Amino acid sequence: MTIRLLDFGQVESLRSLAIFHGVGYAMRQNTPDTITITRPLDPFVSIGHHQDAKSEVDLAFCDEAGVPVYRREIGGGAVYLDEGQTFWHTIFHQSRVPSKLMNVYTKFLAGPVLALNRMGIPAVHRPVNDIQVEGRKIGGTGAATVGESMIVAGSLMFDFNYELMVRVLNVPSEKFRDKMYSTMREYLTTINRQLGDDAPTRDQGVRVLLECFSETLEDELVVDEPRPDELVAIEQQEERIATPEWLHLDGLPPSGTITKIAEGVDVREGVHKAPGGLVRASVAVRDGVIDGIVLSGDFFMEPAEELARLQDSLVGIAYDDDSVLGVVKAHMATVDAPGLDATDITTAVMAEPQAMA
């Protein structure tokens, strides 16, 4: 089969997310593999599948500024997005992609890397899923199974609003925010910053990208229109993604401290930086036993639903390193989580924050 190309042009932010979710859920084994192109009309914040919106994003500021916050089914971190980026999504049936995420990224990031090189930017793929140029990140990528499809998401980042990115994030202090801004300016670049007056237009950049996808995937891209069932699925995803229930993780609110919520019950929050991303754990401990737990972070895990199963399995387990590690090891043996292992999650769960004064 050839690869379909669906260029939706510039659309509202909610629809830009709903499109790739909907096309992914509508895919079946006999559906042609598809690449979608979108560009948002309005700015928004997108949080990773495993993230807790309250921990990662300044929701009050976003509400005041009129910047909506949406959760995606692809992991990774919270990011501010606007018309400075053009999004691409490869949506292939799971049976036609590698079984390991590392190999999925190798296959599908070859095209964007080649495109940036042809524009004059010496980009490289740095595993697991970064595209970098001379040590700087240039655009974010991620992957996840959605229905029967495997979706790899990325962007041509022509421009980026560093100021709003650091402002929408939930950070401990303004000093920290200033430091984050300077660090981001240093280590995150864009097509326009790299090329200046020689930067391609959006249409030119997309054309190069699609040519490179065709070369690296060794197949022809054929312009097409979305099917009726895909349009229905996109509308369904718009409704779902817009709900508070989808945005917010159920469970314990992050406390940042040990907080007694009932006799014999403490709520603890631990944070651990693993090679594969940040892991947060909010844990309710009653008389030495885990009474409830929420795990979140900017990591990637496939299948994504295994994180919820892990949480359920930890409830009722003794709150000690050996007991927690044993349960986590059993679950991690069944998932694909690059740069994340059982010790990383256990470290976050067993972290010892300071008690409230």
Please give the CATH topology (third level) of the domain spanning 259-349.
Answer: Enolase-like; domain 1 (3.30.390)
Residues of the chain with CATH 3.30.390.50: 259-349
Q: Are 155 and 85 in contact (CB under 8 A)?
A: yes
Q: pLDDT per residue over 221-240, tens digit each?
A: 999 999 999 999 999 999 99
User: 215: Cβ–Cβ under 8 A, 6 or more apart, which residues?
Assistant: 111, 114
Query: How far is the first Cα of the chain from the last one, in angstroms, to the nearest whole number?
Result: 64
Q: What is the pTM of this model?
A: 0.89
Give the CATH fold of the 3-247 domain.
Answer: BirA Bifunctional Protein; domain 2 (3.30.930)
Band of pLDDT at residue 259, cut at 50, 70 and 90: very low
Which residues, in sequence order, are CB contacts of 208 under 8 Å at separation 6+? Answer: 115, 118, 119, 200
The answer to whether 32 and 92 are in contact (CB under 8 A) is no
Q: Does residue 316 have a pLDDT over 50?
A: yes
CA proximity to 331, closest of 351, 303, 293, 300: 303
Instruction: List, for residues 76-115, the tens digit of each pLDDT value.
Output: 999 999 999 999 999 999 999 999 999 999 999 999 999 9
290 in Cβ contact with 317 (< 8 Å)? yes
Helix (H) or strand (E) holding 304: none
| pLDDT of the residue at 357 | 35
| pLDDT single digits (tens) 175-222 | 999 999 999 999 999 999 999 999 999 999 999 999 999 999 999 999
Which of 12-21, 122-131, 251-260, 330-339 has the least mean pLDDT?
251-260
Q: Which amino acid is at 250?
A: D
Domain with CATH 3.30.930.10 in the chain: 3-247
